[in-house]
Amino acid sequence: TSEILKLPFTFSIAMAASGIAVGLNKGHITARRELKVTPSYKKGVQSKRTKFVRDLVREVAGFAPYERRIMELIKNSKDKRAKKLCKKRVSDLRLGTFVRAKAKVEELTNVIAEQRRH
CB contact set of 5 (below 8 Å; sequence gap of 6+): 11, 12, 13, 14
Q: List pLDDT tens digits, range 23-44.
A: 888 999 998 899 999 999 888 8
Q: How much is the pLDDT for 100?
A: 84
- Residue 22's φ and ψ, nearest 5 degrees, are -130, 165
Q: List pLDDT tens digits, range 61-87.
A: 999 888 999 999 999 989 899 888 888
DSSP 25: T
Gap between the Cα atoms of 59 and 10, Å rounded:
35
In this structure, how many other beta carbons lie within 10 angstroms of the beta carbon of residue 71? 18
Domains, the chain, with CATH or none = 48-117 (1.10.10.1760)
pTM over 0.85? The answer is no
Instruction: Return the SS3 of 20.
Output: coil
